């Protein structure tokens, strides 16, 4: 870990400082694809530095919600992801189970009158490194319109058609979100959807 820390500070961080400073001095906007290109440069700089093990993924957190990542030095695509939030009520219940078995399987989430969660949904898309600039505003608009608006401040069982006959578990919410979001992004392909109902319980769906 100390070796990783030392090499990232010595080899990768100065690249980011140099490239962002240069863009700032030139008054040039840094596109998300420019950030991805920096990650590829960092990959090259870190190659062979760890005495055997090699880098498998480099991810830059732009803020607590947005990330840009690359998974190869010669990659032609990068991953952009953003976290969204929604609050909703649900009940997890299976009519084929006894009352006791529902409580055993679903725990507190089996309360028949429902209860709330503050959900977090991370949507990741893959984009080509070359090509048109990625518009985060359009991406956010698409996620909000296709999914978030229909679940935020709703009773998932009663007000979201997909959950009329399907338990709104994190697994099923991730799958429903995937179906709603797939094909919605111009110039980007949906890569994964992760849903957290709290810090411990989450699911990632990749189609």
| Subset of residues 93 to 132 that bind Ni ion, contact rule: CB under 5 A | 109
Tell me phi and psi for residue 2, to 5 degrees: -60, -40
| Closer residue to Ni ion, CB minimum distance, 58 or 109 | 109
Question: Quick check: is 162 catalytic?
Answer: no
Closest CB 93 distance from Ni ion, rounded Å: 11
Cα 182 from chain centre: 14
Q: Per the residue annotation, which of 90, 109, 117, 122 is the catalytic one?
A: 109
Taking a C-beta distance cutoff of 8 angstroms, is the pair 58, 72 a contact? Answer: no
Residues 153-182 that bind Ni ion (CB under 5 A): none
Residue nearest to Ni ion (CB): 109
Comparison of 173 and 190: residue with beta carbon closer to Ni ion: 173
What gap in Å lies between CA 156 and CA 89, rounded to an integer? 6
Q: Which CB, 142 or 151, lies closer to Ni ion?
A: 151
Nearest to 166 by CA among 115, 72, 94: 94
Size of residue set near Ni ion by CB under 5 A? 1
The least CB distance from residue 170 to Ni ion, in Å, is: 9
Q: Cβ of residue 185: shortest distance to Ni ion, in angstroms?
A: 29
CB of 103 to Ni ion, least distance (A): 13
d(CA 121, CA 83): 5
**Given its phi and psi angles, is residue 27 left (phi above 0), alpha (psi -120 to 50 degrees) or beta?**
left
109 counts as catalytic: yes
**Cα separation, 199 vs 1, whole angstroms:** 25
Q: Cβ distance 119 to 195 under 8 Å? A: yes
**29 carries an active-site annotation:** no
Instruction: State which residue, 80 or 86, has the beta carbon closest to Ni ion.
Output: 86
Per DSSP (E only), the strands in 19-171 are 58-61, 66-70, 77-90, 115-128, 154-155
Please state the closest distance from residue 192 (CB atom) to Ni ion, in A: 22
Among candidate residues 59, 115, 153, 182, the one labeled active-site is: 153
Q: Write each residue from 59 to 98 as x if it is in contact with Ni ion (CB under 5 A), else as -, in one continuous string.
A: ----------------------------------------
Say if CB 63 and CB 107 are below 8 A apart.
no
Contact footprint for Ni ion (CB under 5 A): 109
Which residues are known catalytic residues?
A: 109, 153, 197
């Amino acid at each position: 870990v100390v070796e990783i820390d030392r090499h990232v500070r010595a080899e990768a961080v100065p690249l980011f400082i140099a490239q962002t400073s240069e863009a700032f001095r030139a008054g040039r906007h840094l596109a998300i694809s420019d950030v991805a290109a920096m990650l590829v440069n960092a990959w090259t700089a870190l190659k062979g530095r760890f005495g055997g093990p090699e880098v498998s993924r480099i991810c830059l957190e732009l803020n607590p919600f947005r990330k840009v990542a690359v998974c190869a030095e010669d990659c032609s695509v990068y991953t952009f992801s953003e976290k969204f939030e929604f609050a909703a009520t649900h009940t997890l219940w299976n009519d084929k189970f006894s009352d006791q078995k529902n409580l055993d399987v679903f725990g507190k989430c089996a309360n028949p009158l429902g209860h709330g969660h503050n959900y977090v949904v991370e949507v990741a898309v893959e984009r080509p490194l070359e090509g048109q600039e990625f518009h985060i505003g359009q991406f956010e608009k698409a996620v909000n319109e296709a999914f978030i608006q229909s679940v935020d401040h709703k009773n998932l069982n009663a007000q979201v058609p997909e959950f009329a006959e399907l338990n709104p578990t994190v697994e099923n919410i991730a799958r429903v979100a995937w179906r709603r979001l797939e094909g919605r992004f111009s110039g980007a392909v949906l890569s994964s959807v992760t849903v957290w109902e709290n810090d411990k319980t989450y699911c990632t769906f990749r189609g």
